[in-house]
Amino acid sequence: MSRVRHILILTTLLAAPASAQNLDSLLARMTLEEKLGQLNLQSAGGRASPEQMQLVRAGKLGGLFNVIGAENTTPVQRIAVTESRLKIPLLFGLDVIHGYRAIFPIPLAEAGSFDPEAAEATARAAGQEAAAFGINWTYAPMVDIARDPRWGRIAEGSGEDPYLGSLMAAARVRGFQQNIFATAKHFAGYGAAEAGREYNETEISERTMREVYLPPFKAAVDAGVASLMSAFNDISGVPASGNAWLTDAVLRREWGFSGFVVSDWTSVAELINHGVAGSPAEAGRRALTAGVDMDMQSSIYVDSLAALVRSNRIPLAVVDSAVMRILRAKLRLGLFRDPYRARTAPPNTEIRALARRVAGESIVLLKNDQVGRGAACCAPTLPLPKSGTIAVIGPLADNKEEPLGPWHTQGRAEDVVSVLQGIKTKVPTVLYAQGSGIDDTSKAGFAAAVAAARQAKVAVLVLGERGDMSGEAASRSSLGLPGVQEQLLEAVAATGTPVVLVLMNGRREPERALAGHLPASAGAGAAVLQSPQHRPPARCQQQILVEIHRCAGDAALSVRIRIVVHDVRVQQSQAQRRACAGERHDHRDCDRHEQWEPGRHGGRAALRAGRGGQRVTASP
């Protein structure tokens, strides 16, 4: 019933009274400059500038992005539909990656839930909220397969597996497009950047391209995605933003894609940097004839291509085809009928509940060692005790800004419930020490952290990256913890107090090395939670699998990752309990007794964790 309802909503959204014949008539009345204007996309600094408004009046702008709020989109749209000659409405785009005002887990974490329905639900909610603020087009989902965690944009995708990536790509397209247009990006092979270096070249065989990197894009196309974004990278020496094989032969002729292709930020102009064009006009000619319909930010199409069309270096039919794809998209979105698209954001309680549920599904418990020996054996470190003193330590323990993660759009730090705040709502006695900064070199806070750990029954250590250490232009050469955080971990673990390590990352960290600092016997246990890009080697399904109920409904420990204080339930068989109760046993056997019990998430294991959570405006 739910799936049928979603299809009906989508059909209603995309219906419009105008016809293809009307668009043919419109195209015939357009001047060449107006046609090239429809292929022009510019960024605004929150609101359109006077110069951009004049371009709209002149019919030389097809869309704007980074216009924030309906109070800013509406006046510009009014100019387009009342003051321009042909009254063609604008597209308004924005990078709505994992939420608009409410922030969900980053896509990498969400993919770890292995739950496409959850991904569809968060995309639908984010799209609905963005639509209420005047946005009708998002530059998401990013569907690049990525296998090098040094690459910062690994946080925006679904990790390394083409099959899972395809499921998540289709789900997010379906979710977004119940309210706004989606864009599958970056077409294609961007995630294969050599050495994980942002914007680097790629070397991909056609077989690898088709078997690894293209399937999620094909899934997005099959799901009806409205647009694709061309990539910055080259593919075997040919830039993706000027690659006719990729954009024309595969995408349009082989797959039958009928939507439009938008360039990435100035990627048309960057064909000059790639060395395949000697001037802006040549770069624009190469991109447009290869099949890139809309030029983001370069303004090359509108400024430089008219002369090439008039001299027949670019066939007018190529321009007309690109313009018609943009017009059809605007018709499909309903902009000719309802250019302002007034929408209502989902209720705060509803979107918070969804964020909490999906955050719970995105948690991975990598390690949960036993505390003690003999009669005291086999009590795992998690769940946290309901009584006694708990030490909360680390540079991210009481941080509200960094947990929002990269691309958090309009998410606000003041809405975040930190790990420290969340634990204080559930545990009566809490000691706090920052220990160190995120990436500084000072150890001055170590003494206070060690003292707090020694006084506590359990120490919760919250470590990881700044939010801007992942995302675009955020590659890292080393995957270790920044600054002196690893030394802080060593110092706290050396106290012998059981440690719960919470890692907040936009990529997978070397969890085996970190877990090695945590004592797993001799009266000290450890638990490690992390946000990896795929199943970490340290976690075997038959070892650490837990059932998570209600997730943050009771804990609400942070925006992007939560420790479930009372609701992590480990199921043991009686035989396993008896085996672990004796004085002599192999502790590795105790590590294996925990079993996944399909529960409230329909049997989907909550196998991952990561940035993103929900906007919280009051104590849970």
Cα gap 293→35, rounded to integer Å? 11
Helix (H, G, I), strand (E, B) or coil at 150: coil
Q: What is the token pair recorded at 40?
A: 């022009």
DSSP string of 246-309, one letter each residue:
IIIIIIIIIT---SEEE--TTTTTTHHHHTS-SSHHHHHHHHHHHT--BEES--HHHHHSHHHH
Handedness of CA 160, 164, 170, 172 (dihedral sign): negative
Q: What is the token pair recorded at 328?
A: 């059809």
List own/partner pairs for 317-321 with CB under 8 A and 24 or more apart: 318/288, 318/289, 319/32, 319/35, 319/36, 319/39, 319/288, 320/27, 320/35
Cα gap 143→70, rounded to integer Å? 28
Q: Looking at the annotation, which residues are catalytic?
A: 264
Cα gap 523→78, rounded to integer Å? 69
DSSP H helices in 83-203: 107-111, 116-132, 162-176
Cα gap 533→531, rounded to integer Å? 7
Strands 234-235 and 238-239: antiparallel
Cα gap 548→563, rounded to integer Å? 10
How many residues in the chain?
Answer: 620
Work out the burial of residue 338: count CB atoms within 10 Å of its CB; fewer than 13 is exposed, 13-18 middle, 19 or more buried: exposed
- The dihedral over CA atoms of 326, 327, 330, 333, expressed in degrees to the nearest 10, equals -100
Please confirm whether the linkage preceding 587 is cis (ω < 30° from 0).
no
Q: Considering all CA atoms of the chain, what is the largest pairwise distance in Å, rounded to the nearest integer?
A: 89
Q: Residues near 53 by Cβ (< 8 Å), separated by ≥ 6?
A: 76, 79
Cα gap 139→141, rounded to integer Å? 7
Whole-angstrom CA distances from 534 to 362, 368, 439, 501 are 12, 19, 25, 19
